[in-house]
Structure 1
């Protein structure tokens, strides 16, 4: 035994084995005289271990083993750049490797107190979440938001490198030319002619705030090159420098309004969540494919309207109702489609006025009315006396609400266009009758959004007044916005395919932090993907097929969505999702394989409408169901229900709180009314019982 090259083994006294205790043995590496590491005895078989014969039976020597080295990415360093540069490109996952690897998006090595490395592989659904986890675990989490903003700029600019609406298609061109033409006429014509000049060539048909935005962009562009916006002679200008300027105005407008609104939403609405969860929600919002395709591909400024609405909703939840009313009025002043949100916003504010009581509620109502009316007056001031004739106000109003265009124009996935395959609405009845019928359908559709916030506020009135806005009202407001906007999209008069962006915004806000196995996430992702597919006829006409595929795959990869579910465990929602995706894929294959028949040139757009409309109707019904559930949870169990159950529950709690022989075990009987010596308030039973136990 003396000839064996082995470390010095010290005998230990036998340790008594216990059932519930274990002890760890600290180990240190042993080296030979030449500096090489001696082999560990753990690699030897039991027959080869050099146990001294003098050790008593049951004694176990201490086994010395080398201490594993930490990965250099996890070594403490004060130089952030040094640690970043020395970190190799991390693999996407360590699944199935069976060994430790570099710190990666899906698995990051954790170091214990004893200095030993243990790789803990944690599944993170979605490339974006794995990247966030990797950034946080490697000490560069403060670079997450800057990197996200830079990446989003790059993606937006890459989308803008493609074609746009009406490129090279005279004489009317498309939406790109419409936006450029509005910059032209607002810079060369007096205000009273903005809504009356040459209406046959892209007459201005948006509220005054869009006109002011066009005036500002036109002023800056005319300072750079006056030929871009010369009156009448610049129609159809498509030189590279003017296109560069126009694309830049969309990005600057987006980063001035929508991006700050998305960042503020993640910090305010998810203030009780971790910073990594907030950044994940920011990724979901900034890379939303439908908005990127329409604004930066097709060419529009919808992000300004949506950003103002998002800022208004965040202000409402923060308790700044007057600021929220001002911002939402600005959203209405930029695009009239923001009216899709008006029933939900109005119901929320009226409900809060009732919640505050006669005195405070009346004061808030008067202030909201003054702010809203004053903001509208400010926006339309150039069209009102003494700056214009009394009839001048009718010019923007008639252009903003184009009822003379019919129930629908292009093929859009809503109720009227889908049912027009069977019932020819334009031939069946008059246009005025269709206006009244669509108004009735829309009113019934958003009835839940108009009632639920008020009922939720009234149920909260029976509780103790909170210092801020109750958290449950966040979900109620978002669901009300979804229900209201989806009702307008499905049933209102004269809807464009691009207005699907309005119901997609609150739906994306809801799914941004929802668990992947929740109905909210599944419905949200399904509706978003089908919403992108519903715009495919428009995107194909604009030549944005590559951007359509790339952005859809990127966003689904970021959020971790894949339509791969086990058929044995599939729910109805999973099966419905599979059927919708299968229909979209088959329609794409059919469209690329063969053209439409000569007799039915609009066959594929009509099939697109028939496929997408049931999905939107399903999302609308789900919003009604969800808003009813959210409204019910706002007040918990009512006072009447608690009075009826008080006697039986008190008896049960009192019997459980007594020990053997009738001696109290220290748990006081449940105070079902909440806090003693206070008025009765409606809270949930679980909260009451847990609060009472915590107090004791």
Structure 2
């Protein structure tokens, strides 16, 4: 690969520098309660012994991430002590001195170095430009650098709202890179580490399990591509299992020794938080809630049913359990069944027709999709778990749709007036950048662009976001009834975005099944 087209060439670090400057400029912006959550975790892990980390309830924001993340917070706390030791006092609830803000903002920017290095590593596996006269935007490595390093969702979620998603996605991309390179054990090691940082990545665990079992542990196959159990390599299975077990032993072992496993699991999987998060994720259950709300409102108006506060609370913006009024209420087991059914075609496809890293990455994306669309108490921020891996795939139309929809669905997280111009400008810049990059990368003629090859219905849907923004952000706040029904803008945003999420999901499944059909015909 030529030096000028390598991701470590002239363009990679300037892109990183520009995006880092944007992150620094965002330091004084609004911060959510997650800022206090992580400050409290710094205090817990620094001031209390390990035996009390998962029992402390001084703050309502208790530690509910796996042990590796707790140790990550503990390591950060020694740096925090240099900025303001008072932030590490457990009883200092809602403490936000200038030193605290500066340190926590800088810690997120510093942790992003893992993400930056992982993107560089993945881009190094991509082919360089064949023609030196080609536009730089038509180079996969440069396009991917722009779309990942400058990802709109990571900017507002991590550097305004406040979280540590960047370095976690960096570990995920590094794991994917190792599998792409055929280094399956390394990929499994990094993914096991990732799970012990944040358990939301269980969403994509089925893709790893099936792919590694099928493509690493099975060394042979029948001519039709089907698996023979006699071809299972026990040595490889033991080696793979040993790596995963060793990582979990290092993470959970000390707490199991202290008899705290049950307590940790109760923190990691709190099923009493209700079907939906306070900010509705744009998934199937958002549509389900709205249908139930419409039916209950119509039934109440015509005197068919009576509505009480408990059944109507799903639109109140609170994190709690609630019952649907007309449609059946959904327990966690139903969401699990729906999620499993939604990912089964993708999992079966990779098991029956393994085609290397390409099929793995597609299966991983579909697993993330299914968990986001049908999962229990899904956070709207979890859409990034679909957007980031989809960006690594050559599915331009699907990515255009999902990135626009998914990123817009994050708007309710940043609701302060001072940050409104920031989120709108960053979103517009990222959308323009996405259209330019993918249009240049995948155009078939000089006259074609990403806009011209998008289906007409999809273009109309995307243009609808302009009207959605005007209605939710400008017109509805002026209406007198909005004070009583504050959930309406959020409901409209969730429902409209949910349509796009399901649409893009079906598009990706159609492409996957079409490719499978072609493979079957080729084998026959």
- Normalising TM by the smaller chain, what interval? 0.7 to 0.9
Match of 1:404 in 2: 272
Q: Give the conservation status (yes or no) of the 8 Å contact 2:58–2:90.
A: no
Alignment equivalent of 1:184, drawn from 28, 38, 43: 43
Match of 1:218 in 2: 77
Alignment equivalent of 1:480, drawn from 344, 358, 363: 363
Q: CA deviation at 1:575?
A: 2.2
Q: CA deviation at 1:561?
A: 4.0
Task: Confirm whether residue 454 of structure 1 aligns to residue 372 of structure 2.
Answer: no
Matches of residues 680-695 of structure 1 in structure 2 within 5 Å? none
Q: CA deviation at 1:475?
A: 2.3
Match of 1:242 in 2: 100
Q: Distance in 2 between matches of 1:589 and 1:454?
A: 46
Question: More helix per residue: 1 or 2?
Answer: 2
Match of 1:252 in 2: 110
Q: Give the conservation status (yes or no) of the 8 Å contact 1:406–1:431.
A: no
Alignment equivalent of 1:158, drawn from 6, 25, 30: 25
Match of 1:23 in 2: none
Q: Give the conservation status (yes or no) of the 8 Å contact 2:211–2:351.
A: yes
Q: CA deviation at 1:490?
A: 0.6
Question: 3-state DSSP class of the match of 1:182?
Answer: helix
Alignment equivalent of 1:288, drawn from 151, 171, 186: 151
Alignment equivalent of 2:384, drawn from 493, 498, 501: 501
Task: Confirm whether residue 362 of structure 1 aligns to residue 234 of structure 2.
Answer: yes
Q: Distance in 1 between matches of 2:128 and 2:485?
A: 55
Q: CA deviation at 1:380?
A: 0.8
Match of 1:336 in 2: 199
Match of 1:301 in 2: 164
Q: Distance in 2 between matches of 1:265 and 1:160?
A: 29
Question: 3-state DSSP class of the match of 1:202?
Answer: coil
Q: CA deviation at 1:559?
A: 3.5
Match of 1:550 in 2: 425
Q: Distance in 1 between matches of 2:174 and 2:438?
A: 33
Task: Confirm whether residue 604 of structure 1 aligns to residue 473 of structure 2.
Answer: no
Q: Distance in 1 between matches of 2:410 and 2:451?
A: 28
* Residues 552 and 209 (structure 1), Cα distance of their counterparts in 2 relative to 1, 3 Å cut: same
Question: 3-state DSSP class of the match of 2:387?
Answer: helix
String of CA shifts for 1:136-174, please: whole Å, max 9, x gaps: 69xx99422221221121122223332211xxxxxxxx1
Q: Give the conservation status (yes or no) of the 8 Å contact 1:413–1:613.
A: yes
Of 197-206 and 297-306, more deviation after overlay is shown by: 197-206
Q: Give the conservation status (yes or no) of the 8 Å contact 1:258–1:303.
A: yes
Task: Confirm whether residue 327 of structure 1 aligns to residue 190 of structure 2.
Answer: yes
Match of 2:290 in 1: 421
Task: Confirm whether residue 383 of structure 1 aligns to residue 255 of structure 2.
Answer: yes
Match of 2:342 in 1: 445
Question: 3-state DSSP class of the match of 2:56?
Answer: coil
Q: Distance in 1 between matches of 2:120 and 2:494?
A: 34
Q: CA deviation at 1:473?
A: 2.4
Q: CA deviation at 1:633?
A: 5.6
Match of 1:393 in 2: 261
How many pairs were matched up?
A: 467
Q: Give the conservation status (yes or no) of the 8 Å contact 2:68–2:251.
A: yes
Alignment equivalent of 1:583, drawn from 464, 484, 488: 464
Alignment equivalent of 1:372, drawn from 228, 244, 253: 244
Q: CA deviation at 1:179?
A: 0.7
Question: 3-state DSSP class of the match of 1:160?
Answer: coil
Q: Distance in 2 between matches of 1:220 and 1:562?
A: 39
* Residues 628 and 199 (structure 1), Cα distance of their counterparts in 2 relative to 1, 3 Å cut: farther
Q: CA deviation at 1:258?
A: 0.9
Q: Give the conservation status (yes or no) of the 8 Å contact 1:293–1:548.
A: yes
Q: Distance in 2 between matches of 1:152 and 1:398?
A: 38
Q: Distance in 2 between matches of 1:482 and 1:527?
A: 12
Alignment equivalent of 1:627, drawn from 491, 506, 512: 512
String of CA shifts for 1:342-367, please: whole Å, max 9, x gaps: 11111111211464135673322211
Q: Give the conservation status (yes or no) of the 8 Å contact 1:343–1:449.
A: no
CA RMSD of aligned residues (A): 3.1
Question: 3-state DSSP class of the match of 1:180?
Answer: helix
Q: Give the conservation status (yes or no) of the 8 Å contact 1:476–1:630.
A: no
Q: Distance in 2 between matches of 1:423 and 1:260?
A: 46
Q: Give the conservation status (yes or no) of the 8 Å contact 1:476–1:631.
A: no
Match of 2:499 in 1: 614
* Residues 427 and 200 (structure 1), Cα distance of their counterparts in 2 relative to 1, 3 Å cut: farther
Q: Distance in 2 between matches of 1:543 and 1:439?
A: 40
* Residues 342 and 586 (structure 1), Cα distance of their counterparts in 2 relative to 1, 3 Å cut: same
Q: CA deviation at 1:430?
A: 12
String of CA shifts for 1:282-322, please: whole Å, max 9, x gaps: 12210010111101111000112211111111111212111
What runs of 5+ residues in structure 2 fail to find an aligned partner? 131-135, 221-229, 294-321
Q: Distance in 2 between matches of 1:428 and 1:551?
A: 39
Q: Distance in 2 between matches of 1:211 and 1:576?
A: 46
Q: Distance in 1 between matches of 2:517 and 2:174?
A: 27
Match of 1:196 in 2: 55
Q: Distance in 1 between matches of 2:255 and 2:245?
A: 15
Match of 1:665 in 2: none
Q: Give the conservation status (yes or no) of the 8 Å contact 2:157–2:381.
A: yes
Q: Give the conservation status (yes or no) of the 8 Å contact 1:439–1:492.
A: yes
Alignment equivalent of 2:409, drawn from 510, 534, 538: 534
Q: Give the conservation status (yes or no) of the 8 Å contact 2:122–2:173.
A: yes
Q: Distance in 2 between matches of 1:394 and 1:613?
A: 35
Question: 3-state DSSP class of the match of 2:248?
Answer: helix
Alignment equivalent of 2:475, drawn from 589, 593, 596: 593
* Residues 273 and 339 (structure 1), Cα distance of their counterparts in 2 relative to 1, 3 Å cut: farther
